[in-house]
Structure 1
Amino acid sequence: MNNTQNHPTPESILQIASGFWASKILLSAVKFQIFTTLAERKSMSAGEIKSLLGFKCSDRNVCDFLDALTAFGFLNREGILETAKYSNNADADFFLDRNKPSYIGGLLEMLNNRLYGFWGNLEEGLLTGNPQNEAIQGENLFDKLYADPARLEEFIQAMSGVQMGAFMALAQKLDFSKSKTLVDVGGSAGILSLMVAKHQPNMNCITWDLPAVTPIADQTIQKFQLQDRVKTAQGDFFKDEFPKADIVTMGNILHDWDEETKLMLMKKAYDALPEGGVFVAVENVIDENRNKNAFGLMMSLNMLIETGTGFDYTLADFNKWATQVGFKSTSMIPLAGPTSAAIAVK
């Protein structure tokens, strides 16, 4: 009789405990633009990569780095060590080549440049309840980010990266047949509006955000050549009412805030909709038993790091808030990976 499955094993403990090793290898590869370079050159040897990037470490160290990326499934390899030739796998080529519109590396760049260090202070965040980021105590993180054009650009590209797959899925899975207009509140670079316009020719979209974001969104809209059906508009969701539309969306907005602010934002969305209108929150909705969507739970802890009071939530939480605001029904559509669309109908 085989009892091995009943024996304790440290495998998962070691895998999670050393997870930052794997993370840093991938984030470093994005920083060095290895996937972009391989997309251009198709394949390269470890020696060629070492020379191009100016690495001073040993040849074996470079091979270890590239072979780890191969073991993770991001690179393909023919040969071994000095005879090896490396190339991107399909996912890395599609999502991590900076020159493709499908690039999600902006998120990885922000993880490397900002959050990797801040997460080292998770214990302090749990002990104090205070955010652990570049904002000074009592200062609003978003005010800090929006005041620095370079940091704002990085943040917006990160948001585009983490949401691209989900927005593509939303544009194809949500029922748009009874709608003509959409407003994306906190629309950032405009990716949600662009994906909807691209897949739903009946839809006209507005991506609505603070004035500092508008030039970035306009550039993105021009890249997709959808200026006829995707427009930018400026507003502050703390001060202004939302533009009227058949559908109001928010991508990773509600989780930034405490419950009181979540309710305020949902009430503004309700007021902007006609009877039968739809509010959609695209988030990493946590499963009801809170034991499956690990990414959603980690994202909720990331809100502690970033805002101190924000948190991610379950569909039951969303339903409770929607009912309080006045919506008549709620539902959920799984999108991509850990992300879902929480939907409320007026």
Structure 2
Amino acid sequence: MEQHTNQPSPENIMKIGTGFWASKILLTAVSFQLFTKLAEKKSMKAKDVKDILGFKCTDRNVYDWLDALTVFGFLKREGILDTAIYSNTADSDTFLDKNKPSYIGGILEMLNNRLYAFWNNLGEGLLTGLPQNEAKKGENIFSLIYNDPEKLKEFTNAMSGIQMGNFMAFAKKFDFVNYKTLIDVGGSAGLLSLMVAKHNLHIHCTSFDLPAVEPIANATIQQFGLSDRVKTVSGDFFTMPIPNADIVVMGNILHDWDEEHKISLMKKAYDALPDNGAFVAIEGIIDDERKQNAFGMMMSLNMLIETGTGFDYTFADFNRWADIVGFKTTEILPLEGASSAAIAYK
């Protein structure tokens, strides 16, 4: 008798349905700076972790937490239970140690402190089409963030964290040979400019953002020692022209806004470019068939939570807007994971 190998299975249903368990295990580890402390100590027993972090739970709870992180690939382990010794994996040591400039945990901190709770209201967001964050009372979310120094610092670190891998990849993959200047619009802490300048010694970069961000960006520039080729300019990209440059980049900017504002920002970028200049949007570009890039679609839903009207988009969408604005040609450059650089040439 023929056997059916593709029997229905609840495995994926349960994996996705309980996904917040795995998420919270990682976010809690980042919140407690577990990976930073492990980097400092090189390795620790579970009892040492328990003591340093001040846990009052049972030893078994600590084993479960650390072993789950090991199964997920964030920790390495030698021994088992009371004899186990834990250390960071290469990825965790590079990207989750807060003392390293490659730290991307800022986005994970914001996910834990802000978005984890707001996403509980996704259903309300779908029903109402309204933001589900601090702006639920009708205030502008960016005004609320930029007027609160602590929220601004967290937001800036988050934007740096979520894009660090993409910025590094873009700096190495894009052909900068025929370009001398770059401006990063909404540049936050300046990491895109810094990565490009670090890997392309002939490029001069400018990070362009609101005045409140400038001290944060300048501190980052000093940390990297690249103040000779990376600078900051303060301004509002909606109320003033984008300064001229050979390349205009927007990382996680277009998706904040509705289609009308997206096209308006692309037009401003077009006006800032010379002939043959390049406009680059670095985001979770959704595949045209909308069948593969789940991250891009989840990020788009996050824009519902955060802004109400913003959304992520396909390369076909980008091409249509680029044509409206007047760009000559476009291309897409895959970066890290689910993110890409959508590029339009003037």
- TM-score category by the smaller chain? over 0.9
Aligned residues: 346
Aligned ranges 1:159-198 → 2 under 5 Å: 159-198=159-198
Give the whole-Å Cα distance in 2 for the aligned partners of 1:136 and 1:129.
11
List aligned pairs for 1:104-183, cutoff 5 A.
Answer: 104-183=104-183
Q: For residues 296-339 of structure 1, what are the alpha-carbon distances to aligned partners after superposition, in whole Å with 9 as ceiling and x for unaligned?
A: 00000000000000000000000000000010111100001111
Distance apart, 1:61 and its partner CA: 0.4
Hey, what does 2:343 align to over in structure 1?
A: 343
Q: Report matched runs for 1:199-218 at 5 Å.
A: 199-218=199-218
Query: How far apart are the structure 2 equivalents of 1:310 and 1:284?
Result: 13
Cα deviation digits, residues 51-98 of structure 1 (max 9, x gap)? 111101101001001010011111011111111111011100110000
Aligned to 2:39: 39
User: Identity percentage over the alignment?
Assistant: 69
Which residue of structure 1 lines up, in the alignment, with residue 244 of structure 2?
244
2-structure distance, mates of 1:55, 1:106 = 23
Structure 1 CA distance, aligned partners of 2:212 and 2:308?
Answer: 24
State the match for 2:234 in structure 1.
234
Distance in 2 between residues matched to 1:338 and 1:246, nearest whole Å: 27
Distance 1:160 1:6 in 2: 43
CA contact (8 A) 2:27 2:108 kept: yes
Residue 332 of structure 2: SS of its match in structure 1? strand
Counterpart in the other structure of 2:222 = 222
User: Offset at 1:289?
Assistant: 0.7
User: Displacement of 1:4 after TM fit?
Assistant: 5.3
**For the Cα contact (< 8 Å) 2:130–2:136, is it kept in 1?**
no
Letter in 2 for 1:188: S
Please identify runs of 4+ aligned residues in structure 1 that moved more than 4 A: none
Report the Cα offset of residue 6 of structure 1.
1.4
Instruction: Give how far 1:137 is off.
Output: 2.6
- Cα drift, residue 117 of structure 1: 0.2
Partner of 1:87: 87
CA–CA distance in 2 between the matches of 1:232 and 1:294?
34
Q: What corresponds to 1:308 in structure 2? A: 308
Distance 1:136 1:330 in 2: 37
- Give the deviation of 1:136 after TM superposition: 3.9
Aligned to 1:99: 99
1: CA distance, partners of 2:47 / 2:267: 58
Q: What is the match of residue 277 of structure 2? A: 277
Gaps of 5+ in 2: none
Find the aligned partners of 1:2 and 1:62 in 2 and give their Cα distance.
Answer: 47
Paired with 2:293 and 2:2, the residues of 1 have a C-alpha distance of: 32
Query: Please, what TM-score do these two structures have when normalized by structure 1?
Result: 0.99
Distance (whole Å) between structure 2 residues aligned to residue 48 and residue 299 of structure 1? 37
Tell me the C-alpha RMSD between the 2 structures.
0.9
Between 313-322 and 127-136, the greater mean CA deviation after superposition: 127-136
